[in-house]
Amino acid sequence: MILKTSLRSFFAHKGRMALSLTAVVLSVAFVSGTLVFTDTATATFDRLFASTASDVAVSPADDGADHNEQSGGAMARTLAASVVRQVAAQPGVKSASGEVSVSNATIVDPATNKSVGPTGGAPTLAGNWYETPNSALRITSGAAPKGAGQVLLDADTADKAKLGIGDQLRIITAVGDYRATISGIATFTTTNPGAALVFFDTPTAQRELLGRPGAFTSVVAYGDGSRTDDQLKAGLVATFGRTYQVKTAAEQAADNQSDVGGFLDFMKYAMLGFAGISLLVGGFLIINTFSMLVAQRTREIGLMRAIGGSRSQVNRSVLTEALVLGVLGSTVGLGAGLGLAVGLIKLMGAVGMHLDASQLTVKASVPITAYAVGVVITVLAAWLPARRAGKVSPMAALRDHGTPAEAAANRIRAGVGLLLTAAGAAALVAGSRSDSAGTGGALLGLGVLVTLVGFVVIGPLLAGAVVRVLGAALPALFGPSGRLAQRNALRNPRRTGATAAALMIGLALVTGASVVTSSMVSSATSQIDKSVGADFIVMSNNGGLTPNMVKAIQGTPGLSHVSRSKDIGVVITSPDGHREDTSINAVSPTYGEDLRVPAVTGSFEGALKEGISVDKDYADSHHLKVGDPLSVHFQGGSTRTLRIAAVTAEDNQLYQGEMYIGLDTAVRALPADRLPQDVMVLAGASSGADQAYAALQKSLAQYPQLQVKNQADYKALIKKQVDQLLYMVYGLLGLAIVVAVLGVVNTLALSVVERTREIGLLRAIGLSRRQLRRMIRLESVVIAVFGAVLGTGLGLAWGITAQRVLKTQGLNELTVPTGTIVAVFVGAAVVGLLAALGPALRASRMNVLAAIATD
């Protein structure tokens, strides 16, 4: 019986339900789309890694800090050809091959002088071509590379760069610069997620990629089936001891997965976070819809109660409707989520991560999560108004279909809201005053959460005051439509508050994020202004700077000096016994001119001659002063005792927490083949900076992977990078805002229906259609701008607190992006106008007589 009433009521209100449904659909789609996308990406990589892993692989022993060795500029570690023979001789090993593989090569199309490798996260791999039982690639056209001057290219890269057999390629490696003709194209047996690969024959690879004839980077071996991978590994470990590291197929796959896994996890959690936000906003929409439906049906409910329906029956009828909505929304959302995942895959394809949409991985957990999220949120959101509906006394409900007086409830609400907001504000203030970024961050998180909840609770009460102020100008500006709109926005503050709160969340996050990012840009800019003396900065997009590149820079006319900088993996032991696995900067003696690192005590220039400079934080926490000795173990080289020559300041992110030694110190401590490439080269102009810039660009034009920047361009680059991050955040928050806009549409649509009689009356006494539409538009704009006021207020508080908390982390300058805030307000007004389009049209089309006659 109840079910029948509920279903009938659900379908009777399908127009109104459609908007709530959209909210559920969007939220569920986002959650399930994220899960499907990350699962698919993980599965793609799993398949790839499974296809590339040999049964066992032997590589040079890992001596600590160089996980990211090649991108940090370190040279590839090698083993001798004799190891291949030793591995092949192991019992149970069927075949063993020496492999050369480096990830610091750059592939250039000489015709265009452009890098053809991926620019995003995926690597460019260069190696030797050899046949194995389990190769990830197969030659699909042409032939394997033979001898110097031949190279094999992967099909995806060839397609992308429009290269074919016979075309020239230039490969820039740590060793040198090498030209070859494409002899064949190889295609992945599984999906290539975006890496670019080139292969040479083994001697060429050894010579050109490693600079060491006869050397390999690893040995891959396949068993004859008589032993398990673990047994093979045990045998190899027994042979080699700890000289080499041995990994089974499973271990190789796990290693690889943890490399990409971090990135995928980050994406997953970020997107799930945004899904959560849109779910929260969607929750508001649903609460609002059900509140309004329940309010409209107060009389009906009163009648049900008067003729003997129990409170729980009323509850149940509303909840059943919610259940129907939740199930329907989750189902559609799940479908939309699959579409979203495909869209994401396509989008990732555009930025260089190729996944195969036809191999969509949908685990059982996806539908389970989708339904759990969709149904639970919907039912929860409907439960609140249902409970309220059940509480209305039958007579009160029958007498009047307005909302009952809520003075007492409002007082409680005001109390709770104020308390929460005050507590949240206190947390924010405490966070901004906190000395440590850790506790500050925790307080910030707490403050953000509590102020958000506080504002949501208190929103309806603020609506009264704020809308009155916002709307004060309306009657003067827009005449009777303005006055009516202002009153309408005020008549149900709870509804206005809830509608605006949905918008507030998205806008608060947008404002907060833009305060933080603007501060990031202005802080970075001011730090560069303050500390960077270099006129030019040269960095590589891929790996470090090869000696040839450094030579090219040094040979450029018009430069006063060139300072080199290397990242060196070290283990530092302080006198108090603390060991730290870290990396330090080894820089040229002129480095101090290019990056002015102020010394609190001692002399930074001195540290670059001899000894080491440490940051104040490190010095303080280990009670160190100038002159104290540090034991520094250079990874792959010797252990030296270096005396502290300077304690450096912390006020600038460019050198905060960094330790410096002279380049010579590193050269003495490390064998030549373990000395990494330069990560950055700084230079000064002797005169005519523009000329020198042009000359530098000219002499580095042959290396398309290098970025040559002067200070202005460097700042622009940083701004661009930060902006990219910001746009991504905006894009994702856009979803929350879309859901919130649906909420405004919903509120207006329901209000229009509720006020049918009023609209009829207004029309009868002469309100024109235009004036009526304007009235609804203005109401919508007022609600939206109210949301913007709350949102920007909250966002500013969050952003400013975040800046204060991160002050010591390099975010030393606060910039409030007034442009963005103005845009948020203008955008909110536009959003209000758009949201009102449908409801206003509907209201203006109402038949006057029919409207008056409704009850």
Partner 1 sequence: MTTAAAPFGSRAATVAGPAGGAAAIAASARQVTKAYGSGETRVTALDQVDVDIARGRFTAIMGPSGSGKSTLMHCLAGLDSVTSGQIRIGGTEITGLKDKQLTKLRRDKIGFIFQSFNLLPTLNALENITLPMDIAGRRPDQAWLDQVVATVGLAARLKHRPTQLSGGQQQRVAVARALAAKPEIIFGDEPTGNLDSRSGAEVLTFLRRSVDELGQTIVMVTHDPVAAGYADRVLFLADGRIVDEMANPTSDAVLERMLRFSAAETPVPAPAGPLTAGGDSRRNA
d(C-alpha 685, C-alpha 557), whole Å = 9
User: 């802080």: which residue's tokens?
Assistant: 523
Phi, psi of 130 (to 5 degrees): -145, 150
* CA atoms of 362 and 610, how far apart (whole Å): 59
Q: Which CB, 405 or 408, lies closer to partner 1? A: 405
Look-up of token digits 């913007």: 788
Amino acid (1-letter code) at residue 495 = R
**Span interacting with partner 1, options 476-484, 497-505, 580-588, 680-688, rule CB under 8 A:** 476-484
- Which pairing describes strands 124-128 and 196-200: parallel, antiparallel, or unpaired? parallel
Helix axes 769-805, 493-531, angle to 10 degrees: 40
Q: Show the 3-state SS of 554-606.
A: HCCCCEEEEEEEEEEEEEEECCCCCEEEEEEEEECCCHHHHECCCEEEECHHH
Rounded Cα gap, residues 463 and 481, in angstroms: 19
Stretch of 293-301, 451-459, 479-487, 798-806 lying at the interface with partner 1 (CB under 8 A)? 479-487
What's the CA gap between 111 and 168, in Å, rounded?
Answer: 8
* DSSP code of residue 807: G
Q: Binding string to partner 1 for residues 562 to 581, with x set by CB under 8 A, is what? A: --------------------
Name which position in 295, 484, 532, 737 contacts partner 1 (CB under 8 A).
Answer: 484
CA quadruple 406, 408, 411, 413: dihedral sign: negative
Choosing from 361, 771, 780, 808, the residue that interacts with partner 1 (CB under 8 A) is 771
Helix or strand run (H / E) with residue 32? helix 14-52
Given a contact cutoff of 8 angstroms between Cβ atoms, the answer to whether 489 and 782 are in contact is: yes
Q: Residue 797's closest CA among 465, 521, 499, 455? A: 455
User: In this chain, which of 480, 606, 734, 838 binds partner 1, going by CB under 8 A?
Assistant: 480
| Amino acid type, 157 | T
Q: Which amino acid is at 709?
A: K
Q: Which of residues 379-408 bind partner 1 (CB under 8 A)?
A: 402
| In the complex, minimum distance from the CB of residue 460 to partner 1, in angstroms, rounded to a whole number | 17
Burial class of residue 267 in the structure, from the number of CB atoms within 10 Å of its CB (0-12 exposed, 13-18 middle, 19+ buried) = middle
491 binds partner 1 (CB under 8 A): yes
Nearer to partner 1, 720 or 757 (CB): 757
**Nearest approach, Cβ of 770 to partner 1 (angstroms)?**
9
Indicate whether 488 belongs to the interface with partner 1 (CB under 8 A): yes
Shortest reach from residue 484's CB to partner 1, in Å: 7
Residue 545 has phi, psi (to 5 degrees) of -100, 125
The residue among 480 and 657 lying less far from partner 1, judged by its C-beta, is 480
Answer for which of 534, 545, 685, 767 binds partner 1 (CB under 8 A) is 767
Q: Determine, following the binding rule CB under 8 A, whether residue 303 of this chain makes contact with partner 1.
A: no
Each residue 185-224 as x (binds partner 1 by CB under 8 A) or -, in order, gives ----------------------------------------
Q: How many residues bind partner 1 (CB under 8 A)?
A: 24
Asked if 473 touches partner 1 (CB under 8 A), the answer is no
Whether the Cβ atoms of residue 235 and residue 146 lie closer than 8 Å to each other: no
Q: Please choose, out of 243-251, 417-425, 619-627, 760-768, the segment that lies near partner 1 by the rule CB under 8 A.
A: 760-768
Task: For tokens 């005519």, name the residue.
Answer: 688
Is residue 643 part of the contact set for partner 1 (CB under 8 A)? no
Which of 166, 577, 765, 818 touches partner 1 (CB under 8 A)?
A: 765
Instruction: Kindly state the smallest distance separating residue 748's Cβ from partner 1, in Å.
Output: 15
Smaller CB separation from partner 1, 360 or 852: 852
Q: Of 30-38, 191-199, 731-739, 764-772, which part binds partner 1 (CB under 8 A)?
A: 764-772
Q: Is 762 in the site for partner 1 (CB under 8 A)?
A: yes
The pair of structure tokens assigned to 847 is 């038949």
Which residue number, 8 or 757, has a Cβ lying nearer to partner 1? Answer: 757
Which residues, numbered 441-470, are part of the site for partner 1 (CB under 8 A)? none
Shortest distance, CB of residue 722 to partner 1, whole angstroms?
47
Judge contact between 594 and 541, C-beta under 8 A.
Answer: no
Q: How far is the CB of 483 from partner 1 (least distance, A)?
A: 7
Q: Are strands 612-615 and 639-648 parallel, antiparallel or unpaired?
A: parallel
Burial 751-787 (b: 16+ CB within 10 A, else e): bbbebbeebbebbeeebeeebbbbbbbbbbbbbbbbb
Q: Does 490 bind partner 1 (CB under 8 A)?
A: yes
Per-residue three-class SS string for 713-755: HHHHHHHHHHHHHHHHHHHHHHHHHHHHHHHHHHHHHHHHHHC
Nearer to partner 1, 350 or 476 (CB): 476
Q: Is there binding between residue 81 and partner 1 (CB under 8 A)?
A: no
Cβ proximity to partner 1, 138 vs 757, nearer residue: 757
Give least dist CB 761 to partner 1, A: 7
Name which position in 306, 368, 764, 826 contacts partner 1 (CB under 8 A). Answer: 764
Q: Estimate the share of the chain in helix, then strand, then coil, as percent rounded to the nearest 5.
A: 60, 15, 25
Closest contact distance (angstroms) between CB of 479 and partner 1 is 6
**From the list 133, 225, 241, 766, which residue makes contact with partner 1 (rule: CB under 8 A)?**
766
Select from 299, 487, 596, 842 the one that contacts partner 1 (CB under 8 A). Answer: 487
| Least distance CB 833 / partner 1 (angstroms) | 22
Q: Which of 120, 479, 731, 819 binds partner 1 (CB under 8 A)?
A: 479
Region binding partner 1 by CB under 8 A among candidate stretches 118-126, 159-167, 192-200, 754-762: 754-762
Residues in touch with partner 1 (CB under 8 A): 402, 479-480, 483-484, 487-488, 490-491, 757-758, 761-769, 771, 848-849, 852
